[in-house]
Amino acid sequence: MEVRSNPTPDFSSAPQQQHRHHHAPSLPSKQPAASPHPVDTTSVSQRLQKELMSLMMSGGDLGVSAFPDGESIFSWIGTIEGGKGTIYEGLSYKLSLRFPLDYPFKPPQVKFETMCFHPNVDQFGNICLDILQDKWSSAYDCRTILLSIQSLLGEPNPESPLNSYAAALWNNKEDYRRMVHKQYFAGEAVES
C-alpha cells in the first residue's frame, strides 16, 4: 500500500464553482445554511474599487458620480444631475448607496438623501426601481444604477407609484414642476 502526503488544497485563487461540487459527509450542524454565493469581502472590496475607478474616469461627464462615504468601501454617497430637457434639469440630488457583503449577487440599498418629489420615490427617499429589486443582475454596477435612477427622474413609472400624489400630478407638467422645485428647495434649506 502506497502512502501519499495529502497537502491542504489552496482555494484562494481557484474559481468559486469548484466549491459547489465538494461533498462533505453530512453532520448535524448548528450553523446557518451557507449562502449559495460564498461571501468574500476581499473580492467585493476589489470590485467596488474597480467600479470607483471606472466612475471617476467617466462618470462626471454623464452627470453622475459617487465616492465612498468615509472609511468603508461598502457605503457611498452618489450624486445625480437632473437630465437635460427634463423637469429635473439643473437640480442635483444626493443619494446613499449601501453595498451588501454579498454584492454583486445582491443589489445595494439606494436612497435619495436630497428631497425628491417623484412618483417612484417616497418621502423617506426609497426608490421603486426594478433593477434595485427583482430585476437585479450581478452584471450591473454603481454607474448603471446611477444612470438608471437619473433616467427614472425624467421617465417615471406612474403605474407603480411610491408617491401617489406625484403620480397623479405627473400629467400636469407646470404644477408638477412647481412641486419638484418646492420640495427640492425646501429640502436644501433643511440640509444647510
Domain membership flag for residue 98: yes
CA torsion, points 38, 42, 45, 50, in degrees to nearest 10?
Answer: -100
Tell me which long-range contacts 79-86 makes (C-beta under 8 A, separation of at least 24): 80/146, 80/149, 80/150, 80/153, 81/150, 82/150, 82/153, 82/154, 83/150, 83/151, 83/153, 83/154, 85/154, 86/153, 86/154
Cα 185 to Cα 179: distance, rounded to the nearest angstrom: 10
pLDDT at 24 over 90: no
pLDDT confidence of residue 59: 55
- Cell 420615490 found at: 121
pLDDT at 184 over 50: yes
**Mean pLDDT, rounded, for 164-185:** 96
Domain membership flag for residue 24: no
pLDDT confidence of residue 22: 40
pLDDT at 21 over 70: no
**Mean pLDDT, rounded, for 72-90:** 96
Domain membership flag for residue 16: no
Q: Is the pTM of this model over 0.75?
A: yes
Domain membership flag for residue 27: no
pLDDT at 64 over 90: yes
**Mean pLDDT, rounded, for 67-81:** 95
Domain membership flag for residue 100: yes
Domain membership flag for residue 36: no
Query: Of 137 and 33, which is predicted with more confidence?
Result: 137
Contact 143, 110 (CB under 8 A): no
Which residue range(s) make up the domain with 50?
A: 41-183
**Mean pLDDT, rounded, for 125-138:** 95
Separation in Å, CA 20 to CA 8, 10, 17, 98: 18, 15, 6, 28
Cα 69 to Cα 64: distance, rounded to the nearest angstrom: 16
Catalytic (active site) residue 128:
yes
pLDDT confidence of residue 38: 59
Cα 108 to Cα 96: distance, rounded to the nearest angstrom: 10
Does a cis peptide bond (omega within 30 degrees of 0) precede residue 104? yes
pLDDT at 174 over 60: yes
Q: How far apart are the first and last CA of the chain?
A: 79
For the chain, the average pLDDT equals 83
Overall domain count for the chain:
1
Domain membership flag for residue 134: yes
The catalytically annotated residue of 128, 129, 146, 149 is: 128
Domain membership flag for residue 31: no
Q: Residue 49 sits in a domain of what CATH number? A: 3.10.110.10
